[in-house]
Structure 1
Amino acid sequence: MTEQSLDRVARTERRFNALFAEYFDRLGATLDAPSFSRFTPDCVGLLRDLSLRGGKRMRVVLLHEAARLVTAEPVDGLDAAALSVELLQTHGLVHDDLIDDSATRRGGPTTYYAYRERFPEHPRAALGLTVLAGDLALALSLRVLLEAPLPAEVRQAMVEVQTLAAADTFVGQIIDLERDFPTTALGDDVLHAVADRKSARYSVLAPLRLGLLAAGEQPATHEAELRAYARLLGICGQMRDDYLDLFGDAEAMGKPTGTDIREGRHTYTVARLLSAVSGAERDFVNGALGDPGCTSETVAEIRAIGERAGVADRMRADMRQYAERARLVAAGWRPRWREDAVAFFELLPRWSVERTA
């Protein structure tokens, strides 16, 4: 990424963080909750805390850069669309952490564990309130679009984009869980389908569609190209996450490696590892897979097995291959859209797999 692009990304992130904080400051006054309710403002507070706690805001960046494909002028509707994509992300974080029984997220407690602390004697209430908090974030992600000061047809189109993105993500989460109960060896077609539906469609495709809609372009005209780019970017991004979970530097990442091994997740890395080894090494990996008590020493040995078998090298090569394919899709946009904006989307895939933070 160029220094100019990275500076623009940082400015977009800072501006949105301020916008998101202002949104939550106003939210309590717009929710139709009875005055006696203590749980409703508490729920909003937990959503605010999780939403503002961090993250790169790359969905917001993609949204703004998609509008820049069409025009360099300010575009109405981007703020509402940005709030929508990040509220949908908050919904996903709340429910993902519940599904995974995760205690922390971005350096703080997850919504589920915050509720467990509030209601230690009432686990069903903690569970129910967590589900409802995620549901509220989803509803808010659509409401913010319905209330946006935009032409009715643009509002409707944006709501349709986000509704479809949410449905695709739910299917992706279902098949993500299904993936970890394989009946046969997993092929890349299954792993790609999970990456596409669980993350690429709401994290890449939806922001692209929303940004173009806000700028007055009809994304349906370019649907095949947008889908191809989003899918490829989602695949190489998921590969990077899976690679780092085994072969990454725990100290640099700020979290331990081997989580996917302990949870029995059949990721790109695990699938490639199981297909590359045999005999005692394969038995060793299978013995650790799904063992929550798997030690750091065992993870280190599995890492060494993967490195000897060439899995780390293959993963790096695959990431670069998919990043290059995404770059070529974006390069095809040059005759149609603005040069500097297209350049951003060309550079993004390789940056996304090689960045260190």
Structure 2
Amino acid sequence: MQASPDAITRVSQRLERFVTRLTREALAETPMARPVTDAAASALAGGKRFRAQFLLAGWRAVAEAGGRPSEVPEEVVDAAGALEIFHAAALVHDDIIDNSDTRRGRPSAHRALEAQHRSDGWAGDAAGYGRSTAILLGDLLVAWSDDLLEEGLRTAPRERAIAARTRYARMRRDVTVGQYLDIAAEASHPVLAEHEHLDAALLVASFKSARYSVQQPLAIGAALAGSSPAQDDALSAFGHPIGMAFQLRDDVLGVFGDTAVTGKPAGDDLREGKRTALIAFARAALPPSARRTLDELLGDPELDAAQVVALQGAIRDCGALDRVEQLIAGYAHEADRALAGAPLGHGAVGELRDLAIAAVRREA
């Protein structure tokens, strides 16, 4: 089973109530804030709630080990909701950095705000307004995530609240560093030695996704259940490799994903110039002339469909895709082994395995 549908429903309902309240408070001060509050609500719509699911699973893994858990406490629901708000903020900022036009099959936040500026007949640069407002939107969502986390922690036992707050702060720092590493990897690739490309890609995957998407949500949930060092170690040994596999699957989908399923244009990572493990393996395997062509085309926002198909074929035919699939399988196996004999609730271990499968085998 995956995280209890009832618990995930509670997270979504809590988010709806929270956003409604904060929106009402903002608009009571000034109705001119509506574009940004509406954009905040839109940014939180949809999504798989993966990070919330892993936080709930981390709480349950520890709670079950200490006796059959009761209903998920409100502070755990609030922490899961706070993660989802923070993730929405990260996506808004990520789309600005990547100059992405779409997110989940809809216009990205800065593009939607740009379009609103034009349709309302406002003065000035519509694109600049969209980017500037989206930056502030992301900042607002970060503030909201802190607000919701702290509301929940008021009712948590003091030591557990301190541990959860510390781990949440670490998550925020790591993903910010990871975002910078992603930018730096794209900018510094011409001066990297060949063997450094894969190392850089995997470091980005660790900071930007593995820790943030899986490892630290598990740790925050575990802290709220009063985890022991042994339980923390087991969840970390499971969470990091699954997080790595999660990001590598994302890298594959960014090049080969079906637009109808992912909600983003086919080959979008190629146009954005993402220096992923998939690209590192391709560069290592391709002959010099083909590698130069890959380097020249990667990051060209004007890549047409035929060029995307040609690059996809080169990446597949040189064995890079197979190498990444092998790496994903290896990380998944490592994570599964970490659960063997772990001091965690038996039912929760099954849930963790189901979540791992969903994260690794997803198509969007």
TM-score normalised to structure 2 length: 0.86
1:62 maps onto 2:54 in alignment = yes
CA contact (8 A) 1:145 1:158 kept: no
1:289 to 291, 298, 301: 298
* Residue number in structure 2 paired with 1:197: 207
Deviation at 1:289, TM superposition (A): 1.2
1:206 maps onto 2:213 in alignment = no
Q: Partners of 2:59 and 2:335 in 1: how far apart?
A: 19
Cα distance, 1:18–1:35 mapped onto 2, change above 3 Å: closer
1:342 maps onto 2:352 in alignment = no
1:228 maps onto 2:221 in alignment = no
1:21 to 16, 22, 39: 16
Deviation at 1:222, TM superposition (A): 4.2
Deviation at 1:269, TM superposition (A): 1.1
Deviation at 1:252, TM superposition (A): 4.5
Q: Partners of 1:147 and 1:352 in 2: how far apart?
A: 29
Deviation at 1:36, TM superposition (A): 4.9
1:355 to 342, 349, 362: 362
**Local SS of the residue matching 2:44:** helix
Deviation at 1:276, TM superposition (A): 0.6
* Residue number in structure 2 paired with 1:119: 117
Deviation at 1:324, TM superposition (A): 0.7
Q: Partners of 1:216 and 1:86 in 2: how far apart?
A: 22
CA contact (8 A) 1:145 1:155 kept: no
Aligned runs of 1:1-357 on 2, under 5 Å?
5-6=1-2, 8=3, 10-29=5-24, 31=25, 33=26, 35-52=28-45, 54-69=46-61, 70-71=63-64, 72-76=69-73, 77-120=75-118, 121-123=123-125, 124-148=128-152, 149-181=155-187, 182=189, 183-184=191-192, 185=194, 186-218=196-228, 220=229, 222-333=231-342, 336-356=343-363
Deviation at 1:256, TM superposition (A): 3.0
Deviation at 1:247, TM superposition (A): 3.2
**Local SS of the residue matching 1:74:** coil
Cα distance, 1:15–1:262 mapped onto 2, change above 3 Å: same
TM-score normalised to structure 1 length: 0.88
Counterpart of 1:73, as a letter, is S
CA contact (8 A) 2:27 2:34 kept: no
Q: Partners of 2:256 and 2:108 in 1: how far apart?
A: 26
- Root mean square deviation of aligned Cα: 2.3
Cα distance, 1:252–1:210 mapped onto 2, change above 3 Å: closer
**Local SS of the residue matching 2:309:** helix
**Local SS of the residue matching 1:119:** helix
Deviation at 1:206, TM superposition (A): 2.4
Structure 2 gaps, min length 5: none
Deviation at 1:344, TM superposition (A): 2.4
Deviations 1:113-169 (A, max 9, x none): 232234353345443322221111111211212222323443333222222211111
CA contact (8 A) 1:245 1:258 kept: yes
Q: Partners of 1:9 and 1:286 in 2: how far apart?
A: 45
Deviations 1:23-47 (A, max 9, x none): 2122234x4x584523434322211
Deviation at 1:9, TM superposition (A): 5.2
Counterpart of 1:122, as a letter, is G
CA contact (8 A) 1:242 1:267 kept: yes
Q: Partners of 1:9 and 1:300 in 2: how far apart?
A: 40
Which gives a bigger RCO, structure 1 or 2 (Cα 8 Å, sep 6+)? 2
Deviation at 1:337, TM superposition (A): 1.5
Query: How many residue pairs align between the two structures?
Result: 346
Counterpart of 2:200, as a letter, is V
CA contact (8 A) 2:283 2:291 kept: yes
Deviation at 1:316, TM superposition (A): 1.4
Q: Partners of 1:251 and 1:83 in 2: how far apart?
A: 28
Q: Percent identity?
A: 29
Q: Partners of 2:8 and 2:72 in 1: how far apart?
A: 17
Deviation at 1:353, TM superposition (A): 2.0
